[in-house]
Homo-oligomer: A and B are copies of this chain.
Amino acid sequence: DHVILCGYGRSGAIAADEIVARGQPLDRIVAIDQSEERIRLAAEAGLIGLRGDADSEALLGLACVDRAKAVLVTAGRDDTTILVVLTVRHLAPDTRIVASIREEENIKLARLSGADTVISPPRIGGYLLADAIGTAHAAPFLCDLMSAAGKVELHERPAAEADIGKRMAEVGGGIVVQIHSQGRDIPFSERERYIVQRGDTLLLITVPKEA
């Protein structure tokens, strides 16, 4: 149940901090990077550092990629990221793969290569720049929502026994903002109508428990 970071640049290092803040032990995070400097930083942070190419089958084998909880691929260049995704998927058919992609046209290629989730920081940067024209509070709120620190959290959990049969708007323990039911997304706009079913997955805004 370790997490492998393929690439320990800025996003990779922040992801590591964030995973630790969510309870993953430091020594159950493996960072793979070509740069000696970055591997030194990873080791100083308490992670397991492996220097080399993240598309090397030998190195991924050493990192026990087939038994990892998740592999986060943020190699900086899209061509490298996609090659790493292909290699990881080949070695580990069931491991969760998340890829960070820069160019719009490569997002679908990363999905085709086997990534379960693809994120695009330049796209999100563009959204937040546009948001910030009209509001001073949206960007800080969104950052809080995304990160373990702060005053709000975005949290996913299966529907509990107590939730079943309630309207989306009536579920307690936070505000349900989306429900995933039998492969379909039930949007926030349905919150007064949709009745929670057994097996649904709820996405909620919650308040973190006091430290």
Contact = CB atoms under 8 A, between A and B. Distances in A.
Contacts of A88: none
A199 interface: no
Interface residues of A, number: 68
A190 to B, nearest CB: 9
Contacts of A18: 126-127, 129-130
Nearest to A203: B137
Contacts of A205: 175, 177, 188
Interface of A: 3, 9-19, 22, 69-70, 72, 74, 96, 98, 100, 102-104, 116-117, 119, 121-139, 141-143, 145-148, 151-152, 154, 156, 175, 177-178, 180, 185, 187-189, 201, 203, 205, 207
